[in-house]
Structure 1
Amino acid sequence: MGDISFWEMIWRTTVSFAVLLFLARIMGKKQISQLTFFHYVTGITIGSIAAEIASQKETPFVDGIISLVWWAILTILMTYISQLSPKVRLLLDDEPTIIIKDGNISVKSLKSSRMNMDDVMMLLREQSIFSIDDVEYAVLETNGELSVLKKVAEQGATKQDVKADLTAPTYIPSEIISDGKLVRKNLKELNLDEEWVMKKLRKQGIHSIKEVYFAQIQTNGSLSINLKDNGL
């Protein structure tokens, strides 16, 4: 490995970082979350190329950047094609595999997925399931995670089961005030305004938004408030 000067390394790393950040944004959230094996591999490769550009003097800088950008373009192109063609999507992402069906383990599916029961039990325990007898269906997703449908007797009771209130929430819990300042973006999305906030604050004896460190609207429209001067 050839020597690389300090400032050249800083320059290479800075430019590589900027290019990588830009590419990450245009490749989208699916690539960042690495939802499938294809995106997992491409994500690692792109990161490796960026590291090579930043640290290896033998790697021509411009050639490395071109390689990085071209790899990202290929990833975006294949993702776009997979959206149009189910066959290509199957080739790139594979398909979910049923591991347990009607409470019975599919040995054939385990072999095709190159898994054993230790692997399955570990994935079940991660979902707080310790007995195979509790499982009706288990599906191995394309990202390697296991989706589980418990047997009816093992499923938790829902609000409908216990005849609880099924009214849809009026609001989604959202940050309204942060460090004494209104979060206007959230207010706008909730169709609320500053006057509405002040009415809520005055009901609790608070006369200035600056007194509030954090405030969050709850599903019923009430405010959860933490003051800056709360003695803690």
Structure 2
Amino acid sequence: MDHIFQYSLRTLLSFVALLLLTRLLGKKQLSQMTFFTYITGIALGNIAGEIVLNKEIKAAAGITAMALWAFLTILIEQLALKSPLVRVLFDGEPAIVIKKGKIQPKAMALSKLNMDDLSMLLRDKNVFSVREVDYGILEPNGKLSVLKKQEEEAPTKRDLKLPIQKRLYLPTELIVDGKIVKRNLKELQLNREWLEDQIKSFGVQSVDEVFFAELQSDGSLYLDKKSDQTSS
């Protein structure tokens, strides 16, 4: 029982420490992950695992190590904000792998990128031929930014001289699986009565009957009923 209690306590402490430190490090760990932030995340996870499983490591010492690692990461990121040299050193810099429609073998070799990798990254951008690409830039986070040749670009409303309607809202979830997302409704300065009136126009009498509802940019409502889900 003592062993179970000890492991449970160490697990709880490691979990709380890891949660707090990753929150402290910020959203960049997920949304703008570079090689450096990727390694940082792995290292923190490994330290947390060692605290739980290795009884020779004191919990206080392990958590101190995690805190120090997180502090150093934050310090490096602050330096990177002020120094382009530090930013390039730790995050890397973009590499132009396609330039004016021509593949750049040297840039690809320096980026450890082969043609299979490049083709996969292009397909991820819905580009199935290098012929369509004017510039391809490999970003520090490993993603490919693509600028198509002008003749391959889709026409915009401005090109077609179509009327442009101003967006009233950002498309936002209002109902998910029969539950009203109250926080979104409040941010949009709308109320439940308005929402219920809207769904009645779809022939729905209760929010419970709705699987998903989303407010569109023009103020209209997209609605998917639960009965449609079961029938499909």
Which deviations, in whole Å up to 9, do the C-alpha atoms of 1:101-143 show, x marking residues without a partner? 1112223322322333333223223333332222100001001
SS in 2 for 1:139: strand
Q: Which is further off, 62-71 or 124-133?
A: 124-133
Unaligned runs of 5+ in 2: none
Unaligned runs of 5+ in 1: none
Aligned to 2:125: 127
State the shift of 1:15 in Å: 1.4
SS in 2 for 1:161: helix
Provide runs of 4+ in structure 1 moved above 6 Å. Answer: none
Q: Which is further off, 199-208 or 150-159?
A: 199-208
Q: Which is further off, 185-194 or 203-212?
A: 203-212
CA RMSD across the alignment = 2.5
User: Any residues of structure 2 matched to 1:1-232 within 5 Å, and which?
Assistant: 5-33=3-31, 35-178=33-176, 180-204=178-202, 206=204, 209=207, 212-227=210-225, 232=230
CA contact (8 A) 1:24 1:32 kept: no
TM (normalized to structure 2)? 0.85
Q: Distance in 2 between matches of 1:77 and 1:99?
A: 32
Letter in 2 for 1:145: K
Q: Distance in 2 between matches of 1:39 and 1:230?
A: 43
State the shift of 1:204 in Å: 4.4
TM (normalized to structure 1)? 0.85
State the shift of 1:229 in Å: 6.5
Letter in 2 for 1:133: R
Give percent identity, aligned residues only: 46
Paired residues, number: 229
Letter in 1 for 2:71: I
Letter in 1 for 2:57: T
SS in 2 for 1:125: helix
SS in 1 for 2:160: coil
Letter in 2 for 1:148: V
SS in 1 for 2:62: helix
Letter in 1 for 2:112: R
State the shift of 1:177 in Å: 3.1
Counterparts in 2 of 1:172 and 1:57: CA distance versus 1, 3 Å: same
Which deviations, in whole Å up to 9, do the C-alpha atoms of 1:156-209 show, x marking residues without a partner? 233333343421322222122345554332122222233432432444455554
SS in 2 for 1:100: strand
Counterparts in 2 of 1:228 and 1:84: CA distance versus 1, 3 Å: same
Counterparts in 2 of 1:46 and 1:155: CA distance versus 1, 3 Å: same
Q: Distance in 2 between matches of 1:11 and 1:76?
A: 28
